[in-house]
Amino acid sequence: MPALQSNPGDNARAGSFDAVVVGAGFAGMYMLYRLRGLGFSVRVYEHGDDVGGTWYWNRYPGARCDVESMQYSYSFSDELQQEWDWSERYAPQPEILKYANHVADRFDLRRDIQFSTRVESAVFDERANRWSVTTSDGHTVTAQFVILATGCLSNARMPDIKGLSGFKGKVYHTGHWPHEPVDFTGQRVGVIGTGSSGIQSVPVIAEQADHLTVFQRTANFSIPARNLPLTDEERQAFRQNYREIRRFAREEARNGIYTDMPDRGALDDGGNERRERYEARWSRGGLTFMSVYNNLALDKAANDTAADFVRQKIAEIVEDPETARLLQPTSHPIGTKRICIDSDYYAAFNRPNVTLVDIKANPIEEIVPTGVRAGDKLYEVDALVLATGFDAMTGSVAKIDITGRQARTLNQKWAEGPRTYLGLMSNGFPNLFLITGPGSPSVLSNMIVSIEQHVDWIAHCAAYMREHGCETMEANRDAEDTWVAHVNDVAHGTLYPQANSWYMGANIPGKPRIFMPYIGGVGQYRQICNDVAAKGYEGFTMTAAERSKKAAVS
């Protein structure tokens, strides 16, 4: 029986809520907290049997956050940020999950979350102006608002490789890792995929496995994390300055991370000075490598200087020249695929028990019961790890059968790519909100900064509607068209579209190629959202309860 320790009011007992929230990751939990604080009745549905979202599912060896833990944390409660002790510069997955559980307990969230339950469908009733939400346990509830807190990287993608189902060993997907410990001791393991998940897991699996074969289709740029235990002094320094750190991350940083802002372009420095700056960032480690200069995402010649630096580092670390050459990315400008942050990834290839296989030159032909056949060669393995990524940003939304006005589904509307106004709503789907949806900075930012901004905006909006007697809110078609064009224009002013990335939907066969996140930066985006709200939700139509009833009847 799905867990629910709710103490609902009369309406909620009758299956009628102010809001249904889909997902109990960081977005869903905070959404519940905010709406509950405003006196709304809320039911959260979560497919997993506990909170944590992406951190609940991604338990693969080496999984840890690539944003520093003191910044990858909620800011809405000063008590919470003052009392929680992060142990390392980059928190490992079990610690992030522990934090999510702590938040759920501390704010008593679980009583409104129904676990082990998928939302199967949501249908908008134009007469009642309410959503009917049907779940995997066969129940249907109604709600004024449906809020999709489904996560951008939650829909793990199994690759379509011939013979996979016939493999006789164990097959694991990094995004759907078992809850019980996996021990690769004495085994020959194959890892397919060299994005962030593969790059984090390879050094850890290499330590355990008898032999590890890494199947690489596209080499990726990775920067050392330089992870270390956090000292009390470091934690204190953050805590004392949290007010300014959070303000900067929200309002000034492009990516929601507190860091130095670059004041010059890469070509403004001479070769020696540039190299020194890259060296300093490489030694410091982490995502801020890409903010050493202000034009790395804009100017190919500038970008090449950073890419060359990292390629050179790879050549210095990896002893075998042919392996080093294969690991040097050449297919895309640095940073145009999500840059990876690793702990000893390149050095792992110096181990005698690790082999790199170039499946770009010699594609996987098939998986046979005992291994992987590529380039006419059989690589025998006992276990396979698929680090093959996600149907990102839209995949989890698409799994829910969402029907808006005039019986049109969201999947029909988004068949040529997602269309939203501000990444928050889509025309034709009143009172349906997305948290960190396509068209918002989301995955290009510190996710928690973006989640908090969206949740706060949606919460204010719901309160505003209640205060003004409004029953529905809907993105206007023209505002949506203008926003989609703007998101596109901004993206095409950068180098990002040059990569076959999951940002573009390029990892999913048949998915329309559209740059999905908004690249204008979280500070600018926040300002736009605030301005829209200040102008009475410009670009949205809100309908008062009486008017909308008449409109629906006529």
Shortest reach from residue 354's CB to ligand N01, in Å:
16
Using CB under 6 A as the binding rule, the residues of this chain from 446 to 505 that contact ligand N01 are 502
Residue 330 CB burial class (10 angstroms; 0-12, 13-18, ≥19):
exposed
Position among 198, 423, 441, 520 found at the interface with ligand N01 (CB under 6 A) = 198
- Between 66 and 299, CB nearer to ligand N01: 66
Task: Single out the segment in contact with ligand N01 by CB under 6 A; choices: 186-194, 424-432, 450-458, 481-489.
Answer: 186-194
Shortest reach from residue 58's CB to ligand N01, in Å:
6
- Between 97 and 473, CB nearer to ligand N01: 97
For the record, the structure tokens of 458 come out as: 């949606």
Position among 35, 42, 141, 153 found at the interface with ligand N01 (CB under 6 A) = 153
Number of residues that bind ligand N01 (CB under 6 A): 26
Residue 389 is a binding residue for ligand N01 (CB under 6 A): yes
Task: Single out the segment in contact with ligand N01 by CB under 6 A; choices: 133-141, 236-244, 367-375, 385-393.
Answer: 385-393
- Between 196 and 494, CB nearer to ligand N01: 196
Task: Single out the segment in contact with ligand N01 by CB under 6 A; choices: 276-284, 381-389, 484-492, 542-550.
Answer: 381-389
For the record, the structure tokens of 512 come out as: 């329309």
Q: 404 near 353, Cβ under 8 Å?
A: no
Q: Beta-carbon neighbour count of residue 352 at 10 Å? A: 6
For residue 432, CA distances in Å to 6, 301, 458 come to: 23, 43, 10
For the record, the structure tokens of 496 come out as: 């990002």
Residue 202 is a binding residue for ligand N01 (CB under 6 A): no
For the record, the structure tokens of 83 come out as: 């009392």
**Cα-atom radius of gyration of the chain, to the nearest Å?**
24
How far, in Å, CA of 53 to CA of 149, rounded? 9
Position among 192, 202, 385, 397 found at the interface with ligand N01 (CB under 6 A) = 192
How far, in Å, CA of 144 to CA of 130, rounded? 5
From 121, 140, 112, select the one nearest 51 (Cα to Cα).
112
Shortest reach from residue 279's CB to ligand N01, in Å:
23
Residue 387 is a binding residue for ligand N01 (CB under 6 A): yes
Place of tokens 């519940």: 32
Give the 3-state DSSP-derived string for 435-454, with helices as H, strands as E and coil as C.
CCCCCCCHHHCCHHHHHHHH
Closest-approach residue to ligand N01 (CB): 195
How far, in Å, CA of 74 to CA of 325, rounded? 41
Task: Please tell me what DSSP assigns to residue 320.
Answer: S
Helix (H), strand (E) at residue 214: strand 211-216
Shortest reach from residue 205's CB to ligand N01, in Å:
14
Task: Single out the segment in contact with ligand N01 by CB under 6 A; choices: 183-191, 265-273, 384-392, 425-433.
Answer: 384-392
Task: Single out the segment in contact with ligand N01 by CB under 6 A; choices: 43-51, 383-391, 468-476, 489-497.
Answer: 383-391
Task: Single out the segment in contact with ligand N01 by CB under 6 A; choices: 14-22, 193-201, 286-294, 300-308.
Answer: 193-201
Residue 507 is a binding residue for ligand N01 (CB under 6 A): yes
- Between 41 and 196, CB nearer to ligand N01: 196
How far, in Å, CA of 146 to CA of 430, rounded? 9
Position among 71, 129, 135, 194 found at the interface with ligand N01 (CB under 6 A) = 194
- Between 122 and 318, CB nearer to ligand N01: 318
How far, in Å, CA of 364 to CA of 127, rounded? 54
Residue 200 is a binding residue for ligand N01 (CB under 6 A): yes
Shortest reach from residue 506's CB to ligand N01, in Å:
7
Question: What is the rounded end-to-end Cα distance, in angstroms, of the chain?
Answer: 43
How far, in Å, CA of 329 to CA of 331, rounded? 6
Task: Single out the segment in contact with ligand N01 by CB under 6 A; choices: 189-197, 310-318, 434-442, 481-489.
Answer: 189-197
Shortest reach from residue 272's CB to ligand N01, in Å:
32
Helix ranges restricted to H, 371-476? 395-398, 410-413, 447-467
DSSP class per residue in 137-173: TS-EEEEEEEEE---SS-SB-----TTGGG--SEEEE
Residue 190 is a binding residue for ligand N01 (CB under 6 A): no
Enumerate binding residues for ligand N01 (CB under 6 A): 65-66, 153, 159, 161, 174, 192-198, 200, 217-218, 338, 359, 364, 387-390, 443, 502, 507
